[in-house]
Amino acid sequence: MITKPKGTYDVLDKEALKLQKINRLIEYTCEFYNYDYIRTPIFESRELFHRTVGETTDIVTKETYDFKDRSDRELTLRPEGTAGVVRSFIENKMYGSNMPRKLYYNGTMYRYERPGNGRNREFTQFGVEVLGSNDPAIDAEVISMPYHMFLELGFKDLNVKINNLGSKEDREKYKVALKEYLKPHLNDLCEDCKKRYETNPLRILDCKVDGDSTILKNVPSILDYQSEESTSRFKKVLEYLNFLDVDYEVDEHLVRGLDYYDYTVFEIVSSEEVLGGASTIAAGGRYNDLVETLGGPSTPCIGFACGLERVMLAMDAFEENKKRPIDCYILYVNEEEKIKALMLAQDLRLSGVSVDYDTTGRSLKSQFKEADRNGAELLILLNSEDLQKGLITVKDNVTKEEEKVDENEIIDYIVSR
């Protein structure tokens, strides 16, 4: 038997219900926040991700799916969404007077990592990118948006961890101080951190091996090495978050795992027990230099990404995962009634009513049970005698009240209910 590849999974039954609920909320939220949908290719030039994400990051050194096509072009399955959006922004010349561009995506990503709880090799990410605004208010909006989405889904215990990486000059000053502090402790760090010490010492703060060590807990604070302008901007972001009712805490060790971040970085953390303690369900930050790095004009940007698998897993703690009820179920017995059911179902669906009927030869008794299983609010009972008189029986599946309705008025009657 052919089985699915390791690190992938099928979405069906209860998982499908959760995913549909999340996707509906994503579309609804982005519409009202005035974000436009964008879809980029699943595979892109290898150079795009290696230049943007960073050659020394774990994603590039250990996790990207790199391959050559039949024309010997070097390609990579997208491991994250920001790089592709920025490439599209430049290639399609979206910059100009119509700024900022507020975009969102929702699609599959690929990383070759060990599968685990809420972690897969093929996974789905929803994210937003705002290109063309450096206003601290947009930082607050980009953080508030997923935070309140999660509250809408039913999350109870949410917290935003936030930090300020400052400007490029700020970070260079901090790297010097950080390396000076870490130098006596190099032998006590993991092998990856020893390499990062030379290539990108900031990444040591994001280490999953030494993250809880006393050495890293006592590193100098990056906030102490920032200019007055950077500090003032960060205070403004926090002020706006207060106005938007976002529960946050400043985490001076938070740096995030991608090389392109500057200024604001954040993680939204849930403490739902199913994830095994506190776990990040969305994260992002500002990347003011990335567009220019890829050959575009200087463009300040900020965004976040959210792994839907982790959100779905956390929802197990509070989500009932009940099947979405339908509006009507049509019941019939003979072929004449079946043809009417088929036609009526189509007319109702085209009028915005969710409808179903039997296509497996069930008895009338079994059809009633199927209607209940689907949570039908109304039952449409077809019988030949009524149809000859131009009538259709409609039954309220809650109150059990019945009413005979003129066949020519049945659509308006159901829609108005």
Q: How does pLDDT run across 218-227, given as a tens digit for each residue?
A: 999 999 999 9
The pLDDT-based confidence of 399 (bands split at 50, 70, 90) is very high
**CA neighbours within 13 Å on the CB side: how many for 292?**
9
**Please, which pLDDT band fits residue 368 given cuts at 50, 70 and 90?**
very high
Residue 259 banded pLDDT, cuts 50, 70, 90: confident
Distance CA 88, CA 23 (A): 23
Higher pLDDT, 302 or 56: 302
Check pLDDT > 90 for residue 55. no
Read off the pLDDT band of 250 (50, 70, 90). very high
Name the least confident of 48-62, 189-203, 269-283, 367-381: 269-283
Nearest to 286 by CA among 165, 381, 382, 188: 165
Collect all residues with Cβ–Cβ distance below 8 Å to 54 and sequence separation of at least 6.
60, 200, 258, 259, 260
Domain segments of the chain as ranges: 13-167+226-315, 328-416
pLDDT above 60 (res 257): yes
Q: Where residue 16 falls among pLDDT bands split at 50, 70, 90? A: very high
Average pLDDT over residues 338-344: 97
Give me the percent of the chain exceeding a pLDDT of 70: 97
Identify the pLDDT of residue 96.
Answer: 83
Confidence at residue 273, expressed as pLDDT on a 0 to 100 scale: 61
The percent of residues above 90 in pLDDT, for the chain, comes to: 78
Q: What are phi and psi of 158, to 5 degrees?
A: -115, 145
Burial of 316 per CB tally in 10 Å (0-12, 13-18, 19+): middle
pLDDT digits (tens, 9 = 90+) for 135-184: 999 999 999 999 999 999 999 889 999 999 999 999 999 999 999 999 99
pLDDT of 86 over the 70 cut: yes
pLDDT at 203: 82
In terms of pLDDT, which residue wins out, 229 or 272? 229
What is the enclosing helix (H) or strand (E) of 215? helix 214-217
Residue 317 in this model has a pLDDT that exceeds 80: no
CATH topology of domain 13-167+226-315: BirA Bifunctional Protein; domain 2 (3.30.930)
Per-residue pLDDT of 121-132, as tens digits, reads: 999 999 999 999
pTM for the whole thing?
0.88
pLDDT by residue (tens digit) across 199-211? 889 988 888 787 7
Which numeric CATH code is attached to 328-416?
A: 3.40.50.800
Q: Return mean pLDDT, the chain.
A: 93
**Encoded tokens for 304:** 């976040």
**Torsion-angle region of 361 (φ positive above 0: left; ψ -120 to 50: alpha; else: beta):** left
Kindly state the tokens that stand for 315. 């929802």
